[in-house]
Amino acid sequence: MSIRRVVPDIRTGSFEASREFYGRLGFEEVMNLGWVMALAAPDNPTAQLIFMDRDAAAPVEPDMSIEVGDVDAAHAAMRAAGADVVYPLTDEEWGVRRFFVRDPNGRVVNVVEHRG
C-alpha cells in the first residue's frame, strides 16, 4: 500500500489569519472550498497544511489526512483489523474517495485517495 502524503488537519476560525501566518514561512494556498483550505510549499507540493472550520460531509472533523494509492485496500485492511471506522468509505463530490478511522490514541484519520 503506497502512502503519498501525510497532512495535519488544523481547525481554524480564520482562514485569512492562517494563510497570512503560514505565508510568512513560504506556504501558498493551493485549494480552498470555503470550509477547507490547503496550503503547500511551492518547491515541495507534498509539504502541506490543511485548515478547516468544519467538515462539509462527515459528522466529525479529522485530525490528520493520509493520502494513499488505494483507499479501498486501506479500508479493507482497517475493517479486517476491527478498527473503528467513524465515517464510511465515500465518494465525495469534490473528487476524492475517503473514509475516517479512529486511531488507538483517539485521533480521527481521514484516509483519502484523489480521483480523476
Please give the grid coordinates belonging to residue 103.
486511531
- The alpha-carbon radius of gyration of the chain (Å, integer) is 14
pTM of the model: 0.90
Smallest CA-to-CA distance from 19 within 33, 32, 30, 29 is with 29
Residues 6+ apart with CB under 8 A from 3: 66, 67, 68, 69
Q: pLDDT value at position 116?
A: 72
pLDDT bucket at 95, cuts 50 / 70 / 90: very high
Q: What is the distance between the alpha carbons of residues 68 and 62, in angstroms, rounded to a whole number?
A: 16
